[in-house]
Amino acid sequence: MKVTIYTDGAARGNPDGPGGYGTIISYVDSSGTEHIREYSKGYKKTTNNRMELMAAIAGLEALNRPCEVTLYSDSQYLVKAFNEHWLEGWIKKGWKRGKNEPVKNVDLWERILKAMEPHKVTFIWVKGHAGHPQNERCDILATSAADGNNLEEDVF
């Protein structure tokens, strides 16, 4: 099954303000009917990068069978980590990056890798705030979640 996932993350007062993510999953069933689901959640204190990763995780974890996934994100941090093989290097170095500094958000990188396991995932970068309809909708979901009242704790 082919699935398209659109994602965005937002943080107010990055790096220590409230934040949220927005995710849209779209697929067409065998009868040709498109199905769309939206996900969002807000956190009391987080970072933009964590919310970008959580948006992707939410989409991948929502899938209940192996899929061919095209994931669109305006986060170069997320997309380049896969497309430019940053993650492979970080893992080989024991979650260290250049100058032997620790990689941030290891908990979420490990979670996204686990969520990807049953799927074939292609990451595509889209320019944020450039009129891409699904990216704009994800931005609304993410910022609305960040501005909401029912914020959760982001433990990191």
Pick out the residues of the known binding site: 8, 52, 74, 139
Provide CATH code, domain 2-146. Answer: 3.30.420.10
Beta strands 2-11 and 68-73 are parallel
Q: Is the pTM of this model over 0.85?
A: yes
Token duo for residue 149: 């009242």
Q: What's the sign of the alpha-carbon dihedral 123, 128, 133, 136?
A: positive
Pick out the residues of the known binding site for Mg(2+): 8, 52, 74, 139
Which residues are known catalytic residues?
8-9, 52, 74, 129, 139
Q: What is the pLDDT of residues 82-134, one digit of tens each?
A: 999 999 999 999 999 988 999 999 999 999 999 999 999 999 999 988 888 99
Separation CA 143–CA 155 (nearest Å): 20
List the chain domain ranges: 2-146
